[in-house]
Chains A and B, each alone.
Chain A
Amino acid sequence: MDAFITITGPAAPLLRANVDTDMIIPAQRLIGAGRDGLGRYAFERFRFNADGSESPDFPLNQAPYRASPILLAGENFGCGSSREGAVWALRDLGLRCFIAPSFGDIFYNNCFQNGMLPIRLATADVQRIAEQTAASPSNAYTSVDLERQVVITPNGEEIPFSVDPRKRSALLEGLDEIALTMKRRAEILAWQARDKAARPWAWEGLAL
């Protein structure tokens, strides 16, 4: 997995609450799909008109935000379905970081699995970054520094954020969780042996 250290760019505003993963990518696009090439379907019901043309009102279609690495979002961003395709689609679109007051739990975890950083900031802070960006969209840059755990707004203000230390170091080092857990294989096998003795009922009747 790619390491995440700092990101700088215009922060695209999508401040409506409860943006669900069905909005981020319709499930139909994920039938048999892999991780790559899903960006064209990201927010497709909002990005495109019925005739396939771009909807100019949608922020990610507007000039300074087309290549934004940062998305400013509303409360409960990524709620709903567990589909990891939502994260894959947004990553394929060029996004690496989401800043919102709150996130759907499963989406939040899925971000870290893909080298993406979800940051929880107070609504007022998210709004302020959006306002500073909107004041001069073409040269308003927001930076996210994961090492120092600060967001630097377009006006140069530093807003600290906290992220779970385990998730932070996994992102900074680009760690592979499966490889890490594999090192504990003996511990897992020992747990299973103990559990079979303690809870035989949880293991009975399953032999293939």
Chain B
Amino acid sequence: MPQTLFDKLWAPHVVADLGDDWALLHVDRVLLHDMSGARALTEVGERGYDLARPDLVFATPDHAVSSAPGRTSATFAGGASPIAKLRQRVKETGIRLFDLGQPGHGIVHVMAPELAIVLPGTTLVCGDSHTCTNGGVGALAFGIGASELTHVLATQTLMQRKPRSMRLTFTGTLPAGVTAKDMILAAIGQLGTAGGTGYAVEYAGEAVRALPLEARLTLCNLSIEMGAKMGFVAPDDITVAYVKGRRFAPTGAAWDQAVSAWRNLRSDDGALFDREVTIDASQIAPQITWGTSPEQVAPVTATVPQPASAADRAALDYIGLEAGQPLIGTPVDWVFIGSCTNSRLSDLRDAAGVLRGRKVAPHVTAWVVPGSETVKREAEAEGLHTQFLEAGFQWREPGCALCVCVNGESVPAGKRSVSTSNRNFVGRQGTGARTHLASPAMAAAAALAGAIVDVRSF
């Protein structure tokens, strides 16, 4: 019987079939950060268990760390204790830690592909909903809670019920100025934030095949914003070229074996999905959210829609927009380029490409937060930081920063932010902060204009 890519990722990891679509799944890689990771490392110890496989566990502090230039783990005082706990438990358990300032440090979902901790065909979990990002290399990667994470650390397995399968096909060619971020925001706008709930989503089609690897990570990153715990792209030549030579990538004969195994990781012709959705990529315009849920999104050229529900009305009230007003021209106070969605070298290049010697509007506070130490160093090596600094952006240290605001950093109440992150929830960027999600190029253009603009004509 023809198999889906999802079947091929799932089935080889089944240690025991528990019936009713339940399986005890082997977890090939575990990522830990300073929030849920520190917690689970503590709990597994308190419950008297050793780590089943310390060699498969990788830690890095990313959430409760300041992104201020020259920061240390003490710059944000609140983070000092969880990070100290993480370091202590790392020492006791012998797992790998990529600490602040070291090559390899970064946002978990930026550093994991960067170091080839995640490989095509592997399973990977983290106590973080954006773990789905790692599906961009063709892995089965998903977020779990702290209890499930403790189970994984103690057993290297997880009890999971197999989700249903969905294929989201993007046909056609993406127009100039439109990115993977716009593709996935448009999909969420169409399917809703619960459209993918209970599904594992394979992204396919000509427009996906054409995406560079880093853009595939962005695409998969917002799977959870569509309700899907897992999203992935079949590995191909682009994937193989990306993974090759990275720190934990296999070498020699093992590499050849890996590549030949990865060649089979695609949905067979005639494979059946529980749901199929097709979107014409050539019709997608740059997207921007107008509300407090990622599904409240529109092409930047649109006007704010009429509220269709009480939730829509509450969102407009919070965000401070009126139905019928054009999105273009809405004044902006803050711009954030960063997060596990859009903080990779290609994102920073996209944003810098918009600058062309222009300056950030005087009333705008604009931040660039590279996703990892390596991204930061590579961007500096090609002079991107100078371009951002000369334009009036702040060039900061890697971490989650203004995406999650557990680091002493936030957008002030009532201020309007254009952000390359993944959640425009109430209070996500700070109490009372108003967030509009968009691509790095759109965010950079908004910083220069001091207002929401269409990057294609800016």
Contact = CB atoms under 8 A, between A and B. Distances in A.
A45 B413 CA distance: 13
Nearest to A26: B427
Interface in A80-122: 80-84, 87, 102-106, 109-110, 113-114
B96 interface: yes
Interface string A5-43: 000000000001110101100111011101000000000
A28 B151 CA distance: 25
Contact of B254 (A79, A182, A204, A208): A204
Interface in B245-266: 248-251, 254-255, 257-258, 261
Contacts of A124: none
Interface stretch (A53-61, A147-155, A191-199): A191-199
B427 A22 contact: yes
Contacts of B56: 206
B26 A200 contact: no
B11 interface: no
Interface string A160-197: 00001110000000000110011011011001100100
A109 B146 CA distance: 11
Interface stretch (B193-201, B299-307, B325-333): B193-201
B176 to A, nearest CB: 32
A205 B243 CA distance: 14
B98 interface: no
B404 A79 contact: no
B371 interface: no
A205 B248 contact: yes
B227 interface: yes
A66 B53 CA distance: 45
Contacts of A166: 18-20, 22, 159, 161
B35 A27 contact: yes
Nearest to B247: A205
Interface in B53-108: 54-56, 63-64, 78-79, 81-82, 85, 94-96
Contacts of B314: 16
B238 to A, nearest CB: 19
A206 B248 contact: yes
Given A178-B155, A201-B254, A201-B255, A102 B36 contact: no
How many interface residues does chain A have, given as a range? Answer: 35 or more
A191 B228 CA distance: 28
B48 to A, nearest CB: 10
Interface string B127-143: 11100000000000001
Given A84-B147, A164-B20, A199 B261 contact: yes
B144 A109 contact: yes
B35 A201 contact: no
Contact of A17 (B127, B224, B229, B311): B311
Contacts of A198: 12
A202 B119 contact: yes
Contacts of A30: 35, 406
B147 A165 contact: no
Interface in B284-316: 293, 295, 309-311, 314
Contact of A76 (B79, B81, B193, B310): B193
B419 to A, nearest CB: 14
A113 B15 contact: no
Contacts of A105: 163, 197-198, 227-229
Nearest to B49: A178
B423 to A, nearest CB: 6
Contacts of B12: 195, 198-199
B157 A84 contact: no
A181 B155 contact: yes
Nearest to B147: A113
B47 interface: yes
B20 to A, nearest CB: 6
Contacts of B224: 80, 106
Contacts of A185: 155
A109 to B, nearest CB: 7
Contacts of A76: 193-194, 197, 227
B35 A106 contact: no
Contacts of A206: 55-56, 248
Given A18-B193, A30-B406, A178-B47, A188 B248 contact: no
Given A23-B427, A82-B36, A105-B163, 12 more contacts: A17-B309, A20-B425, A27-B404, A74-B311, A87-B145, A103-B197, A106-B224, A113-B148, A178-B49, A182-B154, A195-B12, A198-B12
11 contacts: A27-B405, A28-B78, A32-B78, A76-B197, A82-B128, A84-B147, A103-B197, A110-B147, A181-B151, A182-B155, A202-B28
